[in-house]
Structure 1
Amino acid sequence: MADAMERGGESPGAAVKSKWARLVPLAVILVAAMGGAYALGDYLSFETLRDNREMLIAYRDQHYWAAVAVFMTFYVIIAGFSLPGATIATLTGGFLFGTFPGVLFNVGAATMGATVVFLAAKFGLGERLAAKMDSSEGRIKALKDGIDENQWTMLFLIRLVPVVPFFVANLIPALVGVRLWRYVVSTFIGIIPGGLVYTSVGAGLGEVFARGETPNLGIIFEPHVLLPMLGLAALSLLPAVIKKIRGRETV
């Protein structure tokens, strides 16, 4: 029996252990997200930024690149472990570093953090799930094939439409077998519009603090902001629409 097990590969027990080991990174992220939502919700807030703004500005003025490194590290941790406060972090990036280069620091850190979630999900579930969808039949296989044919469209769409939660947009590509480089490129480019909006809001926080007000975080849903973003989302759908029309013409 030992010889048979050697010929057949790893033992059933080892296979089960390997399966559970693959889920550890994703489980850590989920536990950290729940724990962070409970423990850090009151700290990663606009009030915390307001109360500590002078200290943050002083540190930035004295140690600019160290401030950039520390800020981006915290942002990667927030995004990578899906902790509350991503919006506040984006505002902080604009407040400390201006709209530019603040938007680059925000988008870069958010992309790195999102990639952590993507890799954890892909390692734990994505490869197996994508393989099962490839080997299946009927509607599931058709769904997988449709996604594969229009991966760029799908990736940009879930980033550009502001109603898709960031964590969900990180998971979906991993579960359908998207390649890492496509995910990174589409994430970085796709979150620029929304990141630019909130970074610019953060850049104007000095005046907001002076008036004793809070920033309008719903600005992304105002028509003059939302409509151009929806226009970009529609533009990202154009290749899939053209491919569909051409497919009908050749039938």
Structure 2
Amino acid sequence: MKRNLLPKFLRLCQRNFKILLFLGIILLFFITPLRGLLDRQILSSYLQSLGIWTIPLFVSTYVLVAILGLPITMHTLAGGVLFGFGWGTVWSTLAATLGALGAFYFTRYIFHDWAIAIFGNHKLLRKLNQAVTNKPFNLVLSLRFAPIAPFNIINFLLALTPINSKIYTFATFIGVIPGTIAYTWLGVSGKSAIQDNELFQFTLASCFLVLLSLLPFGLQYWQRSRKSP
């Protein structure tokens, strides 16, 4: 009986090699100094010391974190600290779009068959497929607009649909701008709050983020109230 377990285990590992490799990369990420990429202070301090390499390393690590499905919020906040509001928004928007596109292709061409076998009949995925067929740009734009929307899960799910990558990329670029503005502003104002004890801008940025997060729910309520007699 025990002799049969090893071949079964090896066959299981072979069928799920891509998943195991991906999980191994994420584990390696957390047990090495790379985990500092998820800490805003460590990330900001490290990137500030790189001189002319700050921007390319900021964008590259942002894209890497997005492809691995890890939180990108710390990078956006760090962008505000490093580059200020204007350029921080520009570089974070660019990096978020590239990261979303990288995660999209990574899922579509590496994990598509495995994911469809597991989630193909899920109700949510069927609804997304229908929405992508009807209004792909509007769907992606609405999913990206709210900063509380799960950025990485959206990348994963949309990669399982037949959406055109150009539409996905352009709608993502437009859709992440409001949330990027909010988090970059939060990073800039948070730095001012710490260094200069200036809380007004930090409070405004926090309120803007909250309002932006609640806006989709307000639009849904407004649409329902218009339809009701």
Scaled by the length of structure 2, the TM-score of the pair is: 0.68
Give SS of 1:204's match. Answer: helix
Aligned counterparts of 2:85 and 2:127: Cα–Cα separation in 1:
43
1:2-25 CA deviation, whole Å, 9 max, x = no partner?
A: xxxxxxxxxxxxxxxxx969x83x
Aligned counterparts of 2:202 and 2:30: Cα–Cα separation in 1:
22
Alignment CA distance shift 1:216-1:83 (3 Å): farther
The residue number in structure 2 matching 1:10 is none
1:171-225 CA deviation, whole Å, 9 max, x = no partner?
A: 11111111111111111111111111111222234423426899979x66x4x43
Aligned counterparts of 1:96 and 1:175: Cα–Cα separation in 2:
35
The answer on 1:117 being equivalent to 2:103 is yes
Aligned counterparts of 1:96 and 1:210: Cα–Cα separation in 2:
14
The residue number in structure 2 matching 1:170 is 155
The residue number in structure 2 matching 1:249 is none
The residue number in structure 1 matching 2:209 is 225
- In the alignment, residue 174 of structure 1 is paired with which amino acid? A
Alignment CA distance shift 1:216-1:49 (3 Å): farther
Compute the RMSD of aligned alpha carbons.
4.2
Aligned counterparts of 2:30 and 2:202: Cα–Cα separation in 1:
22
Aligned counterparts of 1:105 and 1:143: Cα–Cα separation in 2:
30
The residue number in structure 2 matching 1:99 is 85
- Per the TM alignment, residue 41 of structure 1 is displaced from its structure 2 partner at its CA by 4.4
The residue number in structure 2 matching 1:67 is 54
The residue number in structure 1 matching 2:180 is 195
Given the alignment, which residue of 63, 88, 94 partners 1:108? 94
The residue number in structure 1 matching 2:65 is 78
Given the alignment, which residue of 29, 39, 42 partners 1:36? 29
- Per the TM alignment, residue 99 of structure 1 is displaced from its structure 2 partner at its CA by 1.1
Alignment CA distance shift 1:43-1:182 (3 Å): closer
Structure with bigger gyration radius: 1
CA contact (8 A) 2:148 2:213 kept: no
Unaligned runs of 5+ residues in structure 1 are 1-18, 246-251
Aligned counterparts of 1:140 and 1:109: Cα–Cα separation in 2:
27
CA contact (8 A) 2:103 2:156 kept: yes
Question: What is the number of equivalent residue pairs in this alignment?
Answer: 207
Aligned counterparts of 2:41 and 2:127: Cα–Cα separation in 1:
49
- In the alignment, residue 83 of structure 2 is paired with which amino acid? F
Superposition pairs of residues 134-173 of structure 1, within 5 angstroms: 144-173=129-158
Unaligned runs of 5+ residues in structure 2 are 1-13
Aligned counterparts of 1:36 and 1:43: Cα–Cα separation in 2:
9
CA contact (8 A) 1:80 1:117 kept: yes
- In the alignment, residue 29 of structure 2 is paired with which amino acid? G
Aligned counterparts of 1:38 and 1:183: Cα–Cα separation in 2:
33
Which structure carries more relative contact order (alpha carbon 8 Å, separation 6+)?
1
Give SS of 1:176's match. Answer: coil
Percentage of identical aligned residues: 24
Aligned counterparts of 1:113 and 1:91: Cα–Cα separation in 2:
16
Alignment CA distance shift 1:68-1:141 (3 Å): closer
Aligned counterparts of 1:120 and 1:81: Cα–Cα separation in 2:
9
